[in-house]
Chains A and B, each alone.
Chain A
Amino acid sequence: NAGVTQTPKFRVLKTGQSMTLLCAQDMNHEYMYWYRQDPGMGLRLIHYSVGEGTTAKGEVPDGYNVSRLKKQNFLLGLESAAPSQTSVYFCASNPSGTQETQYFGPGTRLLVL
């Protein structure tokens, strides 16, 4: 099992450009999440999904969109990147039970110039 994988690992964007971050999990988990981590801070939830075809807003959703067309994939889109979106983005998945932890991907480092 690869667990949770993220593509790409690193990306540089110019202000106003768009991009999509891909998260894939092979554990058949129902729930998936996108977080951002800024220096000296913990992780903040951007969007999440409780199943294929569903998405919901987290704590900091502005400027991002998500889609979950397949159960194993969760896409995070930036339509018009801003320097404030420079961050490390983490994807995670959870089987749906409250007794289970979240499993994290290795992260995507994004720099917006």
Chain B
Amino acid sequence: KQEVTQIPAALSVPEGENLVLNCSFTDSAIYNLQWFRQDPGKGLTSLLLIQSSQREQTSGRLNASLDKSSGRSTLYIAASQPGDSATYLCAAMNNNAGNMLTFGGGTRLMVKP
């Protein structure tokens, strides 16, 4: 059974800092690894999707990497802004029918002005 863990559970940084969020998974037989953003009281918004054959994906100030052999993914946020404050969730799409996602518990990020 796939298990996904995110460390740290919460993070507070001053505006402008570069930061890294960590995600680890136990079963490397995945189709892809996805990062989502969740604002308080809202649904999830997809940020980046890394296919199992890829090493990284970039979107603006965000860069996500994937290392299947070690069961790890990282989300790098450059030059953080107060608007980046949210909960970030990673999810592994498992290699089985239904394209099911297994989610980590999330990292709650606060960027202080």
The answer to whether A and B come from one shared complex is yes
Interface residues of chain A, those whose CB is within 8 Å of chain B, are 4, 31, 33, 35, 40-45, 48, 50, 56, 58, 90, 92, 94, 96-107
Whether B98 lies near A42 (C-beta < 8 A) is: no
Whether A107 lies near B100 (C-beta < 8 A) is: no
What does DSSP make chain B's interface, helix, strand, loop or mixed? strand
Give the number of residues in B that approach A within 8 Å (Cβ atoms): 28
Interface residues of chain B, those whose CB is within 8 Å of chain A, are 4, 6, 9, 31-32, 34, 36, 41-46, 49, 51, 89, 91, 93, 97-106
Task: Give the shortest distance, in Å, between B27 (CB) and chain A (any CB).
Answer: 14
Give which listed residue, B41, B42, B44, B99, contacts A96 with CB less than 8 A.
B99
Whether A45 lies near B101 (C-beta < 8 A) is: yes
- Expressed in whole angstroms, the Cα–Cα distance for A102 and B89 within the complex equals 13
- Expressed in whole angstroms, the Cα–Cα distance for A50 and B97 within the complex equals 9
Whether B98 lies near A48 (C-beta < 8 A) is: yes
Residues of B near A48 (CB, < 8 A) are: 98, 100
- Expressed in whole angstroms, the Cα–Cα distance for A41 and B99 within the complex equals 21
Whether A104 lies near B43 (C-beta < 8 A) is: yes
Residues of A near B104 (CB, < 8 A) are: 42
Whether A90 lies near B98 (C-beta < 8 A) is: no
Residues of B near A107 (CB, < 8 A) are: 41-43
- Expressed in whole angstroms, the Cα–Cα distance for A48 and B36 within the complex equals 20
Q: Are A31 and B98 CB-contacts (below 8 A) given A42-B4, A42-B106, A104-B43?
A: yes
Residues of B near A99 (CB, < 8 A) are: 32, 49, 51
Taking A48-B98, A107-B43 as given, write out 11 further A-B residue pairs in contact, using a Cβ cutoff of 8 Å, ordered by the A residue number.
A31-B99, A33-B100, A43-B89, A43-B91, A45-B102, A98-B93, A99-B49, A101-B46, A102-B101, A105-B43, A106-B43
Task: Give the shortest distance, in Å, between A44 (CB) and chain B (any CB).
Answer: 7
